[in-house]
Structure 1
């Protein structure tokens, strides 16, 4: 705050330019009002700023009705004002009054129709700018529209109803999060669309599965209680005294709308549309919880029929999985745990057999050792699925070899893997890292490592035998 800045400045023998500060803040407020991007409202394009400057606003009727008679106040085509629009045009329509909710506060804009006789305009989105300009975007499917025409505005009732279920559910979700996680939880953003809801909130860690289940239970409990929702218009000062939740980034006018649920379950300042009772939401299901920023979490959820379809799909998937495992759905967890245990046991058995097989192979490989200048050298192709397997094989051979140099190679999916090990007594003359660097070049790749063990490879499996011969040459010439 300014007070804190003044205190710090005073300690440093500095002063604060308060008149300059006030002037800059005033300018910033003006810019913010002209071009504001918070809480789902759009930045105001130039054409709409012109309409606002001339006093164009739309009286909102959508809290009381979804159908109304209205008059065309302005038309825009390709971002420019026009007096008329014709069939087939993409048009933006401003009405003197409208039941359509314009996108704001995270809630999606309404869709529906404007019609009159032969005129049919399909509204595909509704936007709200500043506090009163509502723009209906869409396609003129039949007839023509002119400024001054009287039309019937009709909101798509099905889409509005599923949207308001999601919006009322976000208020219950907010309240439940604060109850379960603590009062530090604050809304940090939201999306209320017909198909889902998204709620961002302040919290310092991932929400556990158990906590999410408890939040979901509390929300559904309030839904079953069929609590009434009440809306009251009052001054912002009065509303804040009630203890209602307000969103810091939201821009409120002098008069605000307080939405309360039940007896103190939830109180929020909100201009959106809502159900009449919590029971209208039907069902609430959380489908995901994730991080979106430092100390900000996001919950995505479904309500009503969408939540029911989600549950039904989960049940179908559960029954399908149970059928595949030849178990009843309520025995699925036990069956999966048993299968995982059996899988781990089989895996251990396979690894044990592999170790025995590699041990036998390592004994066989010792007989293939070639002596060069008094040094035992083994260069051999092996079967291995990974560099780790190849390294383990090389270590077993080295342990049995006692003194010598081992180079193993393997092919997998068109690539070459190389591993070289050198016994301790020879490391003053030969270093595995130097050997593998030179031999990896032969197979079209790179490699390196420690003096006692190094790994490399390349993309030329056809050169593997040449790499083996290269090792014999390096040892014979003593150049490593």
Structure 2
């Protein structure tokens, strides 16, 4: 039974049993403390927690999920996968334990011909919480499972809560017995490899007042409405139904393993290490496909970093399988073909997805080259048999994306080891910082109870599209996450109104500013955010008097600030349209920022803009300003809005009814909740300031807007006039004149450098003539003075070594580059046979200079800080020769 068929049977069964089929939410989490959705119930949390009324009594979904905390275990066990799908059925105060158990048993055991999954009922087991005898009775009442196949477990396994005060409840898990060939008898409590968990039924019935750990919490009482949240792992059920050994061998994953096997020429199943690598490739390529499909792009932090790590681990695993050429173009289409039955949008959007993934691999292959050079340098410094420092291995991992096993493999090829303990210590420090940051973010994001309580009385009404002021009432004040009953002069608090004209920061547009006045008090609005959906919180500084909940106020937006922000937001739409006109439809939005006088726009495109492209884009946007297009908006159902041609941001979660902003009919039409000017002429001039890369396959343009653009152009005119006067040429000739001067300057610099090199090489004759004998070794030591770079010193030393005719030769020279000494030592074969190695000798010299160095036995270099000790450095080399 194919995975897509299991998925369809699930949705059909629950739809026939009164559940509303809810499409999977984006894999991107709405919770700022969580990068990706990690469970099927995430999109239903507002309904399960009671923060928002559920629009349906029963729901079912198949949710896309990503978990990366066990990424190092991927491929090694049957339990760990990065991307997975969670089938769920939910009840919001409707049915409870009995129906949840009945539904599960019916779907699992019903014949395939009747729409079921046809699991053998004699191989199914259940676990319940040891305090939940009621559920045992319900299992016996609702199903044919015998009492001996129901086992009790503790809170660690069979109690669910969020980790915070709020809803919680007992769980009942369903396991499938794979048979004696997979482990010992005795049920799930005896062996969870033989007995595989396939379904977890969560009965939310308690309100927890305190949660100290997974198993230590206080139950305040019963919830006013009891809910059901269940989850069936789709991949687990698929590998059981398909008769394969693990989730990597199901129909949606295994084709990539087969492709990796063909590319590498290594058979799957022939070598344990190779099998793990192929499973890593299959998992990570599939995960990257889905993550990019939902709008994430590779980057250096957050979701972008996770995506980058997944793609690079896949490329690295293929390298360890012996494949060094680009592999993603061979693997990603295979994954898409395997997944399109479940997610047709992956095929429809594959051109964009593949561009992002292929560009990331290309970028990694470049960093792989630079990282290899760093590693080679480290190998040269430590020499054969040495150990690369942990901080070098960490830099290779953190900066160049080298996993430690790749560093270990490459180091081994060069006959050196790696300080793994030092590397892991640095990695642990990084993990500790990340955990502390995550805890801080989670705590900040989770402390929403004061806002949630205010939302219980209804959402705040936003009237700011049509008005810049409004009479309102203070619904509540929040400070440090808790409700307060007053705010006095000098206090900064979050103020919630029943009606507001203030725009809360969203969609890249910065929040409004302004004033809130009341009887005897005045407050300045510094920022507006929406900590919970539908509830703008005004961060205010109290300037006069005292504010309390229930007070009547007059809220007034700073009109100049709002107008300038609206100019920038409308300019962003114009630039977006201009980009798509000039570059093509693939230049889609990847993020934006709009604030008074300035706009920033990120878009998907693999190459830098040429000057001609940049001029054409700027021209197209300003022509739209000149044409004075009408700016209008309407509210439409989401599907209808998309059919009408409105552009949506990839990965953004939209409501069922959306606001469509239309500029000039066909010129620009986008889903947008921001504020805009009434006509494009009000935007004023748009001046592109810069264009640059901000990540693999993502570019960014910045522009000044309106009066700021005019002022910027005026400043440039003043600069041009000054240059014209200094160079004594007309303004139109300034570029040519500056180019000529730069050419002459570069020629002069080349001449100076050549003279310097000639002086250095001329000193070679003196160095050859002035060698001295130290225990049968001819030694030449030279202080070169200022040189252009360390390469001059290196050339000098090798030239002198080749000129000296002796059985054993050591040459040392020190030049000064930018005020700092650079030392190079060369030793011929005769000197090396006497135990004199250039790498050891240069370290002695660098110690005197307050620095370090190393290299190969025949040639090594280093540097230091104290140029005054160059004579002592050369003497140290002579002393080392004498000691040898």
Q: Among 440, 453, 476, which residue is 2:845 paired with?
A: 440
Measured after TM superposition, the shift of residue 250 of structure 1 is 3.4
**TM-score, normalising length: structure 1:** 0.83
Change (3 A) 1:391 1:430: farther
Distance 1:268 1:4 in 2: 38
Contact 1:442 1:466 in 2 (8 A): no
Q: Among 500, 503, 506, which residue is 1:98 paired with?
A: 500
Q: Among 851, 856, 861, which residue is 1:455 paired with?
A: 861
Distance 1:460 1:60 in 2: 66
Contact 2:843 2:854 in 1 (8 A): no
Q: Among 447, 452, 456, which residue is 1:49 paired with?
A: 452
Structure 2 partner of 1:419 = 824
Structure with more contact order per residue of length (Cα contacts < 8 Å, sep ≥ 6): 1
Distance 1:413 1:188 in 2: 43
Distance 2:869 2:852 in 1: 14
Structure 1 partner of 2:734 = 332
Contact 2:489 2:545 in 1 (8 A): yes
* Higher deviation after alignment, 232-241 or 321-330: 321-330
State how 1:160-199 maps to structure 2 within 5 Å.
Answer: 160-199=562-601
Measured after TM superposition, the shift of residue 188 of structure 1 is 2.3
Structure 2 partner of 1:30 = 44
Change (3 A) 1:397 1:110: same
Contact 1:122 1:141 in 2 (8 A): yes
SS at match of 1:382: strand
Measured after TM superposition, the shift of residue 362 of structure 1 is 2.9
Deviations 1:70-108 (A, max 9, x none): 333334455444555444433433333222222222222
Measured after TM superposition, the shift of residue 295 of structure 1 is 2.9
Deviations 1:210-243 (A, max 9, x none): 3222211111110011111111223333322312
Structure 2 partner of 1:6 = 4
2:814 paired with 1:409? yes
Change (3 A) 1:139 1:350: closer
State how 1:265-284 maps to structure 2 within 5 Å.
Answer: 265-284=667-686
Q: Among 770, 791, 795, which residue is 1:388 paired with?
A: 791
Distance 2:46 2:616 in 1: 40
Distance 1:130 1:417 in 2: 60
SS at match of 1:252: coil
SS at match of 2:654: coil
* Higher deviation after alignment, 89-98 or 398-407: 398-407
Distance 1:442 1:235 in 2: 73
Distance 1:434 1:242 in 2: 70
2:687 paired with 1:285? yes
Distance 1:375 1:303 in 2: 73
Distance 2:510 2:490 in 1: 25
Change (3 A) 1:15 1:467: same
Change (3 A) 1:438 1:96: closer
Contact 2:812 2:824 in 1 (8 A): yes
Q: Among 617, 635, 640, which residue is 1:215 paired with?
A: 617
State how 1:337-356 maps to structure 2 within 5 Å.
Answer: 337-356=739-758
Change (3 A) 1:342 1:148: same
Change (3 A) 1:459 1:346: closer
Distance 2:759 2:753 in 1: 10
SS at match of 2:573: helix
State how 1:69-148 maps to structure 2 within 5 Å.
Answer: 69-82=471-484, 84-116=486-518, 118-128=520-530, 132-148=534-550
Change (3 A) 1:46 1:201: farther
Distance 1:231 1:24 in 2: 27
Stretches of structure 2 that go unaligned for 5 or more consecutive residues are 25-39, 53-294, 296-443
Distance 1:262 1:379 in 2: 77
Distance 1:116 1:441 in 2: 72
Change (3 A) 1:370 1:74: closer
- In terms of fraction of residues, the more helix-rich structure is 2
Measured after TM superposition, the shift of residue 415 of structure 1 is 5.3
State how 1:186-335 maps to structure 2 within 5 Å.
Answer: 186-335=588-737
Contact 1:77 1:85 in 2 (8 A): no
Question: When the two structures are aligned, how many residues end up with a matched partner?
Answer: 467
Measured after TM superposition, the shift of residue 383 of structure 1 is 1.6
Measured after TM superposition, the shift of residue 423 of structure 1 is 5.8
Distance 1:253 1:435 in 2: 68
Distance 1:427 1:146 in 2: 85
Change (3 A) 1:456 1:271: closer
